[in-house]
Copies of this chain bind each other. A is one copy, B any other.
Amino acid sequence: MSEPDWLRTGIGDSDADSITLMGRDLSTELMGQVSFTQLAFLLVRKRLPSEGETRLLDAILVSLADHGLTPTVLAARLTHTGAPESIQGAVAAGLLGSGSVFLGVVEDTARFLDELLGEDGPEREVVERIVRERGRIPGLGHPVHKVEDPRTPRIYAIAEEAGLVGDRLRLLRLVAEVYREQSGNDLPINGAGVAGAALADLGFPASLLRGFALLARTAGLLGHLAEEMDEPLGMPLYREVDERAIYDPPDTDK
């Protein structure tokens, strides 16, 4: 039977003596030769990154790995409380909240910049028009870092050193400038926004950007689960919530 066209993959293969990944021998060409970050780049972009690209991607992943006791981290730690034998469940629970409210900004910013890049007309005028039309600009503003998000200038500096300030990183600065001029409100570019622009400039499609944020967060979750194993926070948090909660039953139809 000839195989259907769809049952193919370019990622991995193995036989009795060797394992191949992205067209390279795993043992001799990848293990000991490339970093995990380089491998992640290779798996999506289908080529190895340059030294500068590696440094920028490492910096982005490092910047996104942890944000303290966020809702997703609490979800992971509380899941571990009930199912300590399934660390994969705790990690999965910790990723599932990476949706529109927090990590979505990474992707939203990239999509917004792609949209701007797709418009006809002089760039500054396009940005002025669209920023005016939109109420809220993805990638600008942060509840804590009100003046400057410390990750933003660092990503720009690393991208500049590597010659990797592409269209999105450049445009995002223009967006922030135009927004400030129009609104009088000096919102900083936030860390998720600059990560989205930088990942898009590295050539990753918008639909996958949140995936890199998930990869980064997985490392953060390992740190939190290691801490949870030593100093559990899930059980006492539950106990306190349970004790403090006011029970306010619905008016019923009894």
Residues of A within 8 A of B (CB): 1, 3-4, 6-32, 34-37, 39-40, 43-44, 46-48, 55, 57-59, 61-63, 65-72, 74-76, 78-93, 95-103, 144-148, 150-151, 153-155, 157-158, 205, 207-208, 210-212, 214-216, 218-227, 229, 231-238, 240-242, 244-254
Contact = CB atoms under 8 A, between A and B. Distances in A.
Contacts of A150: 17-19, 25-27
A23 B25 CA distance: 39
Interface centre among A1, A79, A242 (most CB of B within 10 A): A79
Give the top 8 A-B pairs by smallest Cβ distance, nearest first: A83-B99, A43-B223, A82-B97, A23-B249, A92-B92, A89-B96, A13-B247, A46-B250
A225 B208 contact: yes
A91 B95 contact: yes
A76 to B, nearest CB: 8
A252 B155 CA distance: 25
Contact of A3 (B31, B40, B88, B246): B246
A78 B71 contact: yes
A24 B250 CA distance: 10
Nearest to A145: B16
Given A66-B21, A247-B13, A214 B26 contact: no
Given A27-B150, A222-B40, A247 B66 contact: no
A35 B53 CA distance: 12
Nearest to A249: B23
A72 B88 CA distance: 12
Contact of A252 (B24, B59, B69, B99): B24
A22 B250 contact: yes
A211 B87 contact: yes
Given A31-B158, A95-B92, A10 B248 contact: yes
B253 A47 contact: yes
Contacts of A62: 26, 30-31, 34-36, 39
A158 B32 contact: yes
Nearest to A232: B6
A7 B151 contact: no
A32 B157 CA distance: 9
Nearest to A246: B8
Given A158-B32, A229-B207, A238-B69, A88 B89 contact: yes
